[in-house]
Amino acid sequence: MTRWGMVIDTDRCTGCGACVVACHAENNIQTVGEEEAKNGRAMHWLRIERHYEGEFPDIRVRFLPVLCQQCGSAPCEPVCPVYATYRTPEGLNAMVYSRCIGTRYCANNCPYTVRFFNWHAGEWPKPLDRQLNPDVSVRPAGVMEKCTFCVQRIQDGQDRAKDENRSVTDADIETACSQSCPAQAITFGDLENSDSRVAQMAKSARASHLLEDLGTDPSVIYLLGGE
Amino acid sequence: MTGDRSREEPLFRPLTAWRPKLILGSLFTGAVAALLFYSWGYQIRNDIGVAGINRPVFWGFYITNFVFWIGISHAGTLISAILRVTSAEWRRPVTRCAEAITVFALLIGGLFPLIHLGRPWLFWFMIPLPNHRGLWPNFRSPLVWDITAIGTYLIGSILYLLLPLLPDLAILRDRHTADNPDSARARIYRFIALGWRGTAQQWHSLESGIRALAVIIIPVAVSVHTIVSWDFSMTLQPMWHSTIFGPYFVVGAIYSGIAVLMVTMYLLRRGMGLESYLNDKVFNNLGLLFLAFTLIWGYFTFAEHLTVWYGNEPSEMAVFTERISGKYARIFWAMVLLNVAVPVLVLSFPRGRKPWLTAIVGVGVLIGMWIERFIIVVGTLSLPRLDFTVGSYQPTWVELGILVGSFGCFALLYLVFVQIAPIVSIWEVREGDHHLNQVHSATEHPVLETT
């Protein structure tokens, strides 16, 4: 069995935001503009939370990249009346855009607030439309979207391994965010495969889940606590 | 059995000729109702984004209005059913106007889940229709439970309104046919009276039907608002995830239902001269029921907030504090004033249960109950667990237009109904009078006929 997972080392994260930009480019996420962002409609499947510790001038900033946690027991899934969001056998929390009718119930029940609604359809004025990723659908207005763990890249890596008659390794699949992280804070892989990097890192004493006490069983593991 | 002609005259007046005031009223409320459809049309054309909802406040006015109107729908059927089942004699002039409130409030409340959808034209995905792909709705979702419960309640309450209406429609049919058998009214009532002749067999069927429906509709009504509350309490969100929500919402629904009933009854009494039916005794008795629900609702609200405060869980306390002393404090305390302080101070005294006073208290309670739902929906959503994503909400003209328009819709439906059917159940009042006249004479079953 496979369970896709991600390990984020917060002690490595510098908060540069390269992952956010890469995610936008890879996944055709719309940029909503200044006005809409001010109304709380900015869309970033991956966001960098800044947390300040201490009082000025003795202050410390911690960065926490937050994306869909691809929960094993996802609160967003049972509430959707039309099965637009469901769990795949490989542990992904998938979205079926064409099935979504836009009740936004899933987003209300997500404790991580990582679901994004297309209040309006995205616009890519020429020549920006040329940079759209052909492997990812462009979402219409009125549907929910969120981080997919770059499912198109997972699919691609699996297809290549299959063509070469071997099993998938860490080298086959990399998400846009992990690929672009200059500090290598983000690692992606199969948590069920004991040889993978993520499976090794998940054993770390620094490993923890976000809002673990809610019992959502996230697939994203944070390494925290180092100085 | 015939009734007191002069007493019944105000009831027949809007049913026998066009009344200019009612026509003007219908036109005005129709214009207000059009606001809803204009705003909704604008929203469908320009995407749901024209509303003020955002992230994290994904639900705003629309779901508030949904809960509000579904709550109001508990006025009728539930109150009238309880009064019927307990054979409260004073119910007779009240039931019809309460049952009509239910049907119209449900029709409007049921519209809001559609209005709030991102892609409303696909709402049928939520209905279990057989299809070649074998796709079903998700029966684990409280929204699917909603559709089931509200659909059942709508069908039930329409039947519950229409069934006791039959003998009255027959009275109207006979009256119009006697006046002029070829008039449009005579022909329409001949059709919708469904061949009611008032035979003993028909009376027997009607009464057992009404009795059965009254008993069935009570658990259905309770289930409806319980399930509406479960839209919230089934989630993990702070101050939504509460076991008390089911009964709390049902009590709130009945409370707002009585409030709207008091206001409607007062307007009917003033506007149509129904003082002899909707008399001070009716207002006094309903006022007592109103007071009882004030106290029950106040108790639930207190219990809900006390347990959260005592538990002192951080994410719950963030929402709680914002309510008691933060951003929502002003409207929260206004709600407490309108829903607890004022009703208790006014309704506790016999003088406070005068019609005009109960109507004023009713308006206050309606505002208060709307605020309650708004605070529940927006108060929780604006404060997610991860405080980095805290948000706020400002409705746009589209949402305001739809809210105002929904009241127009309700008033329009009501005014049209008043011109189609007697708003006080004529045969039931006659039956009550008949019982009274028979108290000292023989106790045989009254033989009832139309006109």
What stretches of A103-180 adopt beta strand conformation (E)? Answer: 116-117, 144-145
d(CA B234, CA B241): 6
Whether residue B450 is predicted with pLDDT greater than 80 in this model: the reply is: no
Q: Which of B45, B150, B388, B392 should we substitute to test contact with A (largest number of A Cβ atoms within 10 Å)?
A: B388
A80 contacts on B by Cβ (under 8 Å):
138, 141
Give me the residues of A, 19-38, that contact B with CB < 8 A.
Answer: 36
Identify the band that residue B77 occupies on the pLDDT scale cut at 50, 70 and 90: confident
Question: pTM of the predicted model, to two decimals?
Answer: 0.94
Q: CA B368, B112, A85: angle at the middle one, nearest 5?
A: 115
On average, the pLDDT of chain B sits at: 91
d(CA B261, CA B362): 8
B235 contacts on A by Cβ (under 8 Å):
75, 79, 108-109
Distance from CA of A32 to the nearest CA of B (A): 11
d(CA B304, CA B384): 19
**Domains and their CATH numbers in chain B:** 11-430 (1.20.1630.10)
Predicted-complex ipTM score: 0.93
> DSSP class of residue A196?
S
Long-range contacts of A31-36 (CB under 8 A, 24+ apart): A31/A122, A32/A119, A32/A120, A36/A119, A36/A120, A36/B49
> What are the tens digits of pLDDT across the range A11-48?
999 999 999 999 999 999 999 999 999 989 999 999 99
Whether residue B448 is predicted with pLDDT greater than 80 in this model: the reply is: no
Report the residue of chain A nearest B51, measured CA to CA.
A119
Q: What is the pLDDT of residue A81?
A: 96
Of B58, B385, B391, the CB nearest to A117: B58
Say whether the peptide bond before residue B56 is cis (omega within 30 degrees of 0): yes
Give the three-state DSSP class for B293.
helix
d(CA B76, CA B91): 11
Q: What is the pLDDT of residue B9?
A: 82
d(CA B29, CA B13): 21
The CATH architecture assigned to A4-223 reads 2-Layer Sandwich (3.30)
User: Strand pairing of A85-87 and A93-95?
Assistant: antiparallel
Inter-chain CB proximity A49 and B386 less than 8 Å: yes
Q: What is the pLDDT of residue A64?
A: 94
> What are the tens digits of pLDDT across the range B16-34?
888 888 899 999 999 999 9
Which amino acid appears at position A179 of this protein? Q
Q: Maximum distance among all alpha carbons in chain B?
A: 78
Percentage of chain B exceeding pLDDT 90: 76
Give the three-state DSSP class for B251.
helix
Q: Lowest-pLDDT range, B272-276, B383-387, B441-445?
A: B441-445
Report the residue of chain A nearest B125, measured CA to CA.
A82
Closest to B157 (Cα-Cα) out of B210, B116, B113: B210
Whether residue B449 is predicted with pLDDT greater than 60 in this model: the reply is: no
Inter-chain CB proximity B138 and A75 less than 8 Å: no
> What are the tens digits of pLDDT across the range B217-266?
999 999 999 999 999 999 999 999 999 999 999 999 999 999 999 999 99
What stretches of A113-171 adopt beta strand conformation (E)? Answer: 116-117, 144-145
Whether residue B327 is predicted with pLDDT greater than 50 in this model: the reply is: yes
Inter-chain CB proximity B143 and A214 less than 8 Å: no
CA distances from B427 to B8, B168, B172 (A): 11, 6, 11
Chain A and chain B share a number of CB contacts under 8 A equal to 135
Residues in chain A predicted with pLDDT less than 70, given as ranges, are: 226-227
Identify the band that residue B410 occupies on the pLDDT scale cut at 50, 70 and 90: very high
- Helix, strand, coil percentages (3-state) for chain B, rounded to 5, are 75, 0, 25
d(CA B38, CA B29): 14
CA distances from B279 to B119, B349, B351 (A): 48, 17, 14
Q: What is the pLDDT of residue B387?
A: 85
Identify the band that residue B81 occupies on the pLDDT scale cut at 50, 70 and 90: confident
Handedness of CA A164, A165, A171, A174 (dihedral sign): positive
Q: What is the pLDDT of residue B442?
A: 52
Q: What is the pLDDT of residue B434?
A: 82
> What are the tens digits of pLDDT across the range B29-63?
999 999 999 999 999 999 999 999 999 999 999 99
Identify the band that residue B439 occupies on the pLDDT scale cut at 50, 70 and 90: low
Find the mean pLDDT for residues B360-372.
97
Identify the band that residue B2 occupies on the pLDDT scale cut at 50, 70 and 90: low
Whether residue B11 is predicted with pLDDT greater than 90 in this model: the reply is: no
d(CA B392, CA B383): 9
Percentage of chain B exceeding pLDDT 70: 96
Distance from CA of B122 to the nearest CA of A (A): 6
Per-residue buried b or exposed e for B218-243, using 16+ beta carbons within 10 Å of the residue's own CB: bebbbbbbbbbbbbbbbbbbbbbebe
Distance from CA of A141 to the nearest CA of B (A): 7
d(CA A177, CA B89): 72
d(CA B342, CA B290): 12
d(CA B183, CA A57): 89
Whether residue B1 is predicted with pLDDT greater than 60 in this model: the reply is: no
Give me the residues of A, 147-186, that contact B with CB < 8 A.
Answer: none
> What are the tens digits of pLDDT across the range B189-200?
999 999 899 899
Residue ranges of chain B whose CB lies within 8 Å of a chain A CB:
47-49, 52-59, 113, 116-120, 122-123, 125-126, 135-138, 140-144, 147, 231, 234-237, 381, 384-386, 388-389, 391-392, 394
Closest to B242 (Cα-Cα) out of B290, B311, B314: B311
> What are the tens digits of pLDDT across the range B99-110?
999 999 999 999
Distance from CA of A194 to the nearest CA of B (A): 32
Q: What is the pLDDT of residue A203?
A: 93
Identify the band that residue B451 occupies on the pLDDT scale cut at 50, 70 and 90: very low
Q: What is the pLDDT of residue B275?
A: 87
Of A41, A50, A113, the CB nearest to B386: A113
Q: What is the pLDDT of residue B133?
A: 80
